[in-house]
Structure 1
């Protein structure tokens, strides 16, 4: 019997397998994993909160033909849960802010993220976005009418959450409605500020919650905002911005404008974090580690040319797509700062944890070092 063909088939298979193993062994380190390790190393020297396993879900709820994305993330525990209502930025889904929502849930908070379809990633398919007119696009979303719609949507979602909790949903039934925090990024901060009474008087009267604290990432402050508007806020505020917090929609002209809110809040226990190199995308907490876009991807059509007929406005990408797309990975210390100070603020103001208060007041400034400053 001639075994030679069978022998060489076996040898070929072995060589192929060894090649695959060698290829895997020679793979470069995963940059995403390396980035996470650097963030965790920074966090290891910061405030140490309780840590829970988490579970969650995402869904689309319908209200009068309106689609609303809802995402829930919470610790796996039988304890009553303080609730954080998270409101994503313009052009994000309810899964936005995942880095922060995960940190809050692991620290013992139930996190409910809400985003209406009118403000989700589909906005980047609009004609204004396709022509790079992101400022024009943003103007409609930041309008008073849009704000009222978002507040109405949130009211419906919270009513549905309460109804499901009353029917025995084991996760939603654990919510402590006397311990509610409202958090937001970008467009979401406008809604959060309205809920706290800082914008239109009575605008949020239909939303049956009284925030115990606000956590604002890249807070919204319009150009003609009077400081006394933010003095109406009656809950402690953590506002976070920084020198690189450049609005990609060119709607808020500078981070100095955003700082007006933090400087105007008068409630005891309020904190403003100014970061040195956190970009708008860093503050979003969404897809923090992504490769920079290739040149051919930056607004070029199939021929490699940008669309004609409109200028390339500041912060925009001709040809559509998110104006924050393609940014390099952020500084791990900046990410760790947002996470650590956010959790310490929550534990101090909501759980009244003395260790969190001590670190926030005395440990955090030194830990931040050159990454930023607390005011």
Structure 2
């Protein structure tokens, strides 16, 4: 469902969101209490146009380009990372965080590719790394309900494109298994993931961002926002990944306890949560992502030492658990299911929950 710029339903949604947002406009992107921050204002003219990051050198198994959604006059940069071989493959769509790019989640995607799972990274104009050129004002403007809507439509359009290319037998897209699609994202990308999974924002006139093609989801640093009740509408498998220091890099929440609400509100039966002691917001970004830590540096907040000291431990667990999650949920790998019953490598304070 697309809205025209002056559609009454869109105005109603954004007005309601503005009233409900009592916290900083950074809310949705960095996981603060607000799911729909105030409507974005025009970014300063100094903000450069969004462009896909170039692959520095020919990279085996990596292709990228730009799709044009003509209905919205919007470009959507993409990067496809493929596992080796020519066998059919599951595919995970990945959405970056606020101020991110196609580089978001690269570390996780590389691990998934080694396990036979492809990744399609999307870059979202209006909330990508171009916003940093406009300073704090542009960052605030980008963390908006309007941008979340655009992101959801980006995902829907991208799924339509990849399925068409797969049906046409076009190049590497022919390897995609249409019934083995997953959706994932970090921070604002986690909000996008929850929306696409079927979250009900409980606002009259809100657009339907759900995409029924996805079989399972993984949300890195998710948050419940102002509409926690709507999370109960997500019935497909959802993995939540967060930790003790996974707070709002720019907001008031300094630890990750408020992020546990997402798992708690999901209906029982197909949910899981990895909680990592000492992990912060950057721990879940997947490397190569300026936005995961740049925001807090804008206001002079230094990163604590624990996440850096434990980085290898956290990364290893995130890779192994998320890979097994996809292997189980997308490929019905029974060995992966067995490993997920009691993941190896958990340290004191780490938690693995399924319910």
Change (3 A) 1:55 1:141: same
Instruction: Indicate conservation of the 8 Å contact 1:236/1:269, yes or no.
Output: yes
Q: Which has the larger radius of gyration?
A: 1
Bigger Cα displacement from structure 2, 250-259 vs 74-83: 250-259
Query: 334, 342, 345: which one pairs with 1:367?
Result: 345
Instruction: Indicate conservation of the 8 Å contact 1:233/1:267, yes or no.
Output: no
Instruction: Indicate conservation of the 8 Å contact 2:149/2:209, yes or no.
Output: no
1:219 has 2:199 as partner? no
Residue in structure 1 matched with residue 245 of structure 2 by the alignment: 244
Residue in structure 1 matched with residue 52 of structure 2 by the alignment: none
Residue in structure 2 matched with residue 71 of structure 1 by the alignment: 79
Instruction: Indicate conservation of the 8 Å contact 2:224/2:231, yes or no.
Output: no
Instruction: Indicate conservation of the 8 Å contact 1:276/1:372, yes or no.
Output: yes
Query: 335, 338, 345: which one pairs with 1:358?
Result: 338
Residue in structure 2 matched with residue 94 of structure 1 by the alignment: 102
Query: Which ranges of structure 2 fall in alignment gaps of 5 or more residues?
Result: 1-58
Give 1:98 deviation, angstroms.
0.4
Secondary structure (helix, strand or coil) at the match of 2:76 reads: strand
Change (3 A) 1:323 1:149: farther
Instruction: Indicate conservation of the 8 Å contact 2:132/2:139, yes or no.
Output: no
Change (3 A) 1:253 1:232: farther
Residue in structure 2 matched with residue 81 of structure 1 by the alignment: 89
CA displacement, residues 41-69 of structure 1 (integer Å, 9 cap, x when unaligned)? xxxxxxxxxxxx96111223333443322
Give 1:193 deviation, angstroms.
0.6
CA displacement, residues 46-98 of structure 1 (integer Å, 9 cap, x when unaligned)? xxxxxxx9611122333344332201001123322212111111111112110
Residue in structure 1 matched with residue 173 of structure 2 by the alignment: 172
Residue in structure 1 matched with residue 130 of structure 2 by the alignment: 122
Change (3 A) 1:371 1:343: farther
Residue in structure 1 matched with residue 68 of structure 2 by the alignment: 62
Query: 101, 114, 120: which one pairs with 1:106?
Result: 114
1:209 has 2:187 as partner? no
CA distance in 1, matches of 2:145, 2:302: 24
Instruction: Indicate conservation of the 8 Å contact 2:276/2:350, yes or no.
Output: yes
Change (3 A) 1:157 1:269: closer
Runs of 4+ aligned structure 1 residues displaced above 6 Å come to none
CA distance in 2, matches of 1:99, 1:168: 29
> How well do the aligned residues superpose, as a CA RMSD in angstroms?
3.2
Query: Which ranges of structure 1 fall in alignment gaps of 5 or more residues?
Result: 1-52, 130-135, 299-313
Give 1:184 deviation, angstroms.
0.7
Matches of residues 292-307 of structure 1 in structure 2 within 5 Å? none
Instruction: Indicate conservation of the 8 Å contact 1:212/1:350, yes or no.
Output: yes
CA distance in 2, matches of 1:155, 1:120: 18
Matches of residues 261-280 of structure 1 in structure 2 within 5 Å? 261-280=262-281
TM-score (norm 1): 0.68
TM-score (norm 2): 0.72
Give 1:112 deviation, angstroms.
0.6
CA distance in 2, matches of 1:203, 1:87: 21
Residue in structure 2 matched with residue 189 of structure 1 by the alignment: 190
1:315 has 2:296 as partner? yes
CA distance in 2, matches of 1:218, 1:358: 25
Residue in structure 1 matched with residue 13 of structure 2 by the alignment: none
Instruction: Indicate conservation of the 8 Å contact 1:246/1:280, yes or no.
Output: yes
CA distance in 1, matches of 2:207, 2:218: 17
CA displacement, residues 222-260 of structure 1 (integer Å, 9 cap, x when unaligned)? 1x333x322211111110101111222327664122110
Give 1:318 deviation, angstroms.
5.0
Instruction: Indicate conservation of the 8 Å contact 1:275/1:373, yes or no.
Output: yes
Residue in structure 1 matched with residue 54 of structure 2 by the alignment: none
CA distance in 1, matches of 2:253, 2:67: 31
Secondary structure (helix, strand or coil) at the match of 2:178 reads: strand
